[in-house]
Amino acid sequence: LLRQVREEFRTPVLLATHDIAACFELGEDMLVLREGRVVQSGPPREVADAPANVSVARLLGIYNLLPVEIRALDPAKKSSRVRYGGVEIAGPYFPGHFIGDRVQLCVRPEQLRALPRDGRPGPNQAPARLLRAVEKPSSVRLEFEDGLAVEAPREEYERHRHAREWVVEFPAGALRAL
């Protein structure tokens, strides 16, 4: 109905919501407010893809926020390495940060891949112990220790539903440091 009113009358609509899907469906611009102040604004896709800081990422509620230490930065190769738990993960270059900085690694659950553990983790994989699997309409949310979550296709999870030890694969291009 709101979409129809906006299109028919060509009038701006201000919608206050916590529903990210509604922002994408109805909004041309999105304002993220915290304590009555705008902390980030822009098209919904831009805000969701690049939260300005940890506070915005938490308010959006669609990210894993993992404590990591930056171990290497290479601006020429546009790459970095971070330490998460006991493993190093390769990522893109994080401008404005230094080796040794402790930051929050920001990545959406649907960008990660979970596989049953079979030996040693490979590159960009971290071992993870499954706490619970939460059924969703079109996927399964795998919740691991340390607050790590992965959105997995239902069929893939069903094949390995009895596994408790997994590895989570981090795609380098999906990682952000906040």
Lowest mean pLDDT of 10-14, 35-39, 114-118, 148-152, name the range: 10-14
Residue 1 scores a pLDDT above 90: no
pLDDT tens profile 55-98: 999 888 889 999 999 999 999 999 999 999 889 999 999 999 99
Helices (runs of H) and strands (runs of E) counted in the chain: 5, 12
Give the C-alpha separation, 133 to 141, whole Å: 6
Other Cβ atoms less than 10 A from the Cβ of 82: the count is: 26
pTM: 0.83
- Answer whether 19's CB lies under 8 Å from 10's CB: no
- DSSP string for 81-124: EEEETTEEEEEE--TT--TT-EEEEEE-GGG-EEEE--SS--TT
**Across 156-171, average pLDDT:** 94
pLDDT at 60: 87
Largest CA distance in the chain: 61
Confidence class for position 116, pLDDT limits 50, 70, 90:
very high
